[in-house]
Amino acid sequence: METLEELRTYVKSQLQDDTTGHDFAHIERVVSLAETIAKQTDGVNEKIVITAAYLHDVIDDKLVDDVDTQKASVQTKLKSLAYTDAEIDAVMDIITHMSYSANLVHQYALSIDGQIVQDADRLDAIGAIGVARAMYFGGHFGDAIYDPTQTPRQNMNKSEYRKHTTVINHFYEKLFKLPNLMNTSAAKEIATKRQKFMQEFVNEFIDEWRGIH
């Protein structure tokens, strides 16, 4: 579809400078995972799923300074691509409310299309890719890889969550929780496999740190 090609170009230009693991390759993996989950789920509007998957990081307050201006730019772009007002509203509702940090205190009720995109985004934060992204993210912000004196935090609000401790803590504070938070059964299945790998990685890491060979 020509519309999707134009959407890809738009998103690519928006995210080209990202060095925190929210780059365009992340977007393409999320689109592909969302397509896979959508095929195994009932009642899906595939156009909304794919569009929201492409746009899900473009209005993130971690990545852009002025979220409202960026939202308006996304809406203008979709209008120029002949999306209806109802379609634009559906996409904006998803990308505004799906992030992990936006759901720490109260869980927002996403549409089924939104639940799929949220699952796809969360799947790309776990498994081998998840390990790589967490290390890359921590490196970008100058966080320590590990410090056994720093206990993982629980029940954080958004501003606490934004303050980093160590990359290994991030596994306990967020990544290990994601498989249980998946909305769809298709995503849960993929998450179970990725969780196992991630747990093995962290166990092995801590053994090596402690000098257990």
Range in contact with ligand ADP (rule: CB under 6 A) among 76-84, 107-115, 125-133, 179-187: 125-133
Contacts of 193 (CB under 8 A, 6+ apart): 127
Nearer to ligand ADP, 3 or 139 (CB): 139
Q: Kindly tell me which of 70 and 151 has the beta carbon lying closer to Ni ion.
A: 70
Contacts 24+ apart (CB under 8 A), 173-177: 174/100, 174/125, 175/125, 175/126, 175/130, 175/134
Query: Interface residues for ligand ADP in 34-53 (CB under 6 A)?
Result: none
- Does 127 contact ligand ADP by CB under 6 A? no
Q: How far is the CB of 28 from ligand ADP (least distance, A)?
A: 15
User: Does residue number 57 form part of the binding site for Ni ion (CB under 5 A)?
Assistant: yes
Residue 11 or 83 having the CB closest to ligand ADP:
11
Least spacing, CB of residue 84 vs ligand ADP, in Å? 27
**Which of ligand ADP, Ni ion, none lies near 77, with the C-beta cut-off 5 to 8 A by kind?**
none
CB 198 within 8 A of CB 131: yes
Please enumerate in sequence order all residues whose Cβ is within 8 A of that of 138, keeping only pairs 6 or more positions apart, or say none.
Answer: 144, 145, 164, 166, 167, 170
Q: Segment contacting ligand ADP (CB under 6 A): 71-79, 163-171, 181-189, 199-207?
A: 163-171
- Using CA atoms, how far apart are residues 184 and 144, in angstroms rounded to an integer? 34
**Pair 128, 91: CB distance under 8 Å:** no
Neighbour count for residue 24 (Cβ, 10 Å): 17
Q: Which two tokens stand for residue 95?
A: 């990308």
Which residues of this protein are in contact with Ni ion, per CB under 5 A? Answer: 57, 121
Which residues of this protein are in contact with ligand ADP, per CB under 6 A? Answer: 21, 60, 62, 99-101, 125, 130, 133-134, 137-138, 164, 167, 170, 175
